A and B are shown apart, each in its own frame.
Chain A
Amino acid sequence: MQGNSKTPLLVVEDSDEDFEILQIFMEDMAVTNPIYRCTTGDKALDFLYRTPDTEADTIVQPSMILLDLNLPGIDGRDVLVRLKQDEQFREIPIVIFTTNSDPKDIKFCYRKGANGYLIKPVRTERFEKAIQAFVDYWLNTNTPPDWVELTGLK
């Protein structure tokens, strides 16, 4: 297993409950990655396109985005489209994490460059499984695009 524990994760999620459960499960799964959370699409874009306060500041961008689709304001689909069209963010894997199981939406997201699509189940054990799968693959197994910068060449 590659140690991706430092790769920051951005969670765009408007539901406090879902986010809390996510945190609880990730804690249980011993996830140590820094987690940023934005509650709306607009805030997510503001966060990603923020300018440093001072010259010295370096902006740490997430190397992984977990994106809800149904969001207040700018919708998750728009955020996805915007980021995948932007040279700066295109390479960051975006995994959709949503209640939406509409086949049309699933297709749409993949077409627009989503790297994964997870449906949030209602049943707790399934929800946990989904998060486990995400953590196992995207945080623990997958090599993120900026892995070198984060960890230095071994």
Chain B
Amino acid sequence: MRQSEPLHGPGRLQQDHELFPVHLIGSTQPYGVLMVLTESTFTITQVSQNTFDYLDIRPQSLLGKSVLDLLEPSSRAQLQQSLRTCTHHPSYVPIAITVANTVKSFDGLVHRTNQCTILELEPASPQQTGQPSGALQNNLHQVIAHLRGVNDITDFLQTAVTEIQTLTGYDRVMVYQFDQYDAGSVVAEVKPPEEVSYLGLHYPATDIPTSVRQLYQQSTVRFIPDLTAPPVELITIENSAAGPAEEVTSPLDLTYATLRGVDPCCIEYHQNMGVAALLVIALVKDNQLWGLISCHHRTPKFLPCSTRLACEVLGQLVAAELGSKVDKTELHYINSLRTIQADFVDSIANAKNFKQALIEPALRLLDMVSAQGAAVCLDQDITLIGHTPTLEEVKTLSKWAMTETSTEIFHTSCLSDVYPTAATFKTVASGLIVLKISQFRRYLILWFRPEVLQTVNWAGDPQTSVHETDEGHILLCPRNSFEQWQEIVQATAIPWQPAEITNAVALKNAIVGIVLNKADELAQINLELERSNRELDSFAYAASHDLKEPLRGITNFSNILLKRHGQALNESGIKRLQTLVKLAERMDGLIDALLKFSRLGQTALLLQPTDLNLLVPTVVEMLQAGREEDLPPLQVQIPLPLPIVSADPVLITEVFSNLLSNALKYTDKPQPLVEIGCLTHEERLEQQAATDITPDSCVLYVKDDGIGIQTRHFQNIFRLFKRLHERDSYGGGTGVGLTIAKKIIERHGGRIWVESVYGEKTTFYFVLNCKEK
């Protein structure tokens, strides 16, 4: 007797509970009669045992008969029509049956299952005979209009429960919303003033088993007028024949039957809550069970069929309207987020320094997604804002984020779930958004949210509904305590809202757009700069040319004067004329220097592997040759072999020549000592200025024991025509040698700097690309 097998008892194995086939319960509620009919002849094959209470006929007498024979002739045609056209969804049909010589009205509901047709009869309420009253319809129209007029979701749901409460008269009407884990919470409620509020309470997913949730998706209204009413068994042709039941018939599917019997678990659960009558209307949005409208009554309560149908319509309306309602608070928030975003994008677009625009004002970056901390990582450059983990922790985290998250944006409200190290800084960063600005470089923005010891108010301890039996099975029990039970959730931040994530992505798009614009601008500026540099070079070149011509005239005519008309001049006249020539000749030297300098910018670099071990001695030889014979020979030391560099040998010769001749010029020693070398790895580490130089470069130096340079001149000495000493001291010179050396080194992509102890020594360092070490 499978169908009538008792299912009572305090608990059930959890697996059974989850999958327990509630629709195959095999019993009905006693507020009406349920008949199972064959499809063609409408012969009654199964019937609820309570027929005598309503029809004054024993169930056994009904089995095997056509249902049409029961009816008043006036109802037959309508029922026949309904039976033929019905679907799995119950349709209403008024029925008249003569019971004990009186014609009685019934509300009939017919629907079809896979194997048969089911007819449910319940006595029509006295005021409900015939068509549903106009009053109910009017009422319904008003309610619908009212609901449509409410925009805010919270107001809307509250209106819905109020209207349904008015319509049905239940003590308590609530909207129960499922979350993504099928746990639920009460989001709207009307209740008697003396009762405890359930608003805001959470219910574990086990409270409404999967099978029940599935049923709600199909049959959206569940009506239980009296939870204490004893279930009514069904009898079939087979078991009415007094013989032993044969299990040939498959169990009857009561999914869509209004009278479907109540699961004992459900009875106990609700009785523990003090509920005696129940009406549940499912809210199905986009084919998903969004939530339930749950109506409770402390005493048994019957609701006429027409009102239930009206409630079903309302439920459908509420579900359909859910999508168009908005959360005002959220909307307001989203609007403020948008304002921040627009402001942000604006200021980044106008900013000269994009990083500065990101981090100032600091609050704006945080407000963008309502975070408490943020880190802007531009490769090695990390800026922390607000409450964040330490710099080292952020560095490691950013490395992890670069490799472990593949999408442009990643977010979590429980970082330690995916990144266990985060447990150490969960108080500041349990929530994380990673926004990748570039896939190639480590350009990231991280936002942090602190751990919030989130308090979830459960309706009773969710754990108490699950018991472990002695055999280790998990038992589910209907909970009997619905007292508020608080659970504290750790290492978790307030979840990021979709609007915040959207904002972060929008920021990235803005940044990328701006960066692209800036790149364009930069390319344009570079082009301009290149052009103006070229112009300047050619200007300097042309100008120096044109300067030469008059200068030549001056020297030549002065010399002619001296030579041919010397006798007409007195001594001072001759001297002054000689000064004129000398000045013109110095000007010629300056122009030559200018020419040389401008030519440097105009000619192409001819890079080639250049062995400094060959180049440097040539320079030394050249200088030696130009030296006056009475001076002692040059002493140039090269302690270690020099590298082979990738350079233009002519220009590098010029650099060494300039540096060496300076070393020989600016000295007070009769025999100056010059050292040329290349810094070793260890020496480079000691050099503050050399720390950021790439390993494929080498740092060369020219060290002398000369007069030294004061620190305040370290920059000046590289300026064009800048001399530190009187014109004729230390062998004169135009003050262009170091400028040229600097320009050459910079054209090679390197840089040059000086170190000196005034009065003792000077060392020039410069960087060149190594061919090989």
Please list the residues of chain A having a beta carbon within 8 angstroms of any beta carbon in chain B: 15, 17-18, 21, 24, 70, 99-103, 120-125, 127
Contacts and interface: CB of A to CB of B under 8 A. Distances in A.
A122 B588 contact: yes
B574 to A, nearest CB: 15
Nearest to A119: B548
B259 to A, nearest CB: 106
Interface stretch (B200-208, B485-493, B555-563, B712-720): B555-563
B199 to A, nearest CB: 89
B552 interface: yes
A122 B548 contact: yes
B556 A99 contact: no
B560 A99 contact: no
Chain A CB count within 10 A is highest, among B552, B557, B560, B603, for B552
Contact of B556 (A102, A103, A124): A124
B549 A124 contact: no
A122 B585 contact: yes
A92 to B, nearest CB: 26
Contacts of B68: none
Interface of B: 541, 545, 548-549, 551-553, 555-560, 581, 584-585, 588, 595, 599, 603
Given A122-B555, A123-B585, A99 B595 contact: no
Nearest to A125: B559
Contact of B545 (A24, A70, A125, A127): A70
B553 A99 contact: no
A30 B595 CA distance: 35
A24 B560 contact: yes
Contacts of B555: 122-124, 127
Contacts of B557: 17, 21
A25 B595 CA distance: 28
A120 to B, nearest CB: 6
Chain A CB count within 10 A is highest, among B549, B585, B603, for B549
A60 B585 CA distance: 41
The 6 A-B residue pairs whose C-beta atoms are closest, nearest first, are A124-B559, A17-B553, A122-B588, A21-B556, A99-B548, A122-B552
Given A101-B595, A124-B555, A21 B548 contact: no
A93 to B, nearest CB: 24
Given A122-B585, A122-B588, A124-B559, A18 B552 contact: yes
Nearest to A22: B556
7 contacts: A99-B548, A100-B545, A122-B551, A124-B556, A124-B581, A127-B555, A127-B556
B122 to A, nearest CB: 109
Contacts of B559: 124-125
B651 to A, nearest CB: 14
A127 B581 CA distance: 14
Given A103-B603, A124-B555, 6 more contacts: A15-B553, A99-B549, A102-B599, A122-B551, A122-B552, A124-B556
A99 B588 contact: no
A21 B551 CA distance: 13
A124 B559 CA distance: 7
Contacts of A70: 545
A120 B552 contact: yes
A18 B541 contact: no
Chain B CB count within 10 A is highest, among A70, A101, A121, for A101
A127 B552 contact: yes
A134 B559 CA distance: 20
A85 to B, nearest CB: 27
A102 to B, nearest CB: 7
Chain B CB count within 10 A is highest, among A24, A99, A100, A124, for A124
Contacts of B545: 70, 99-100
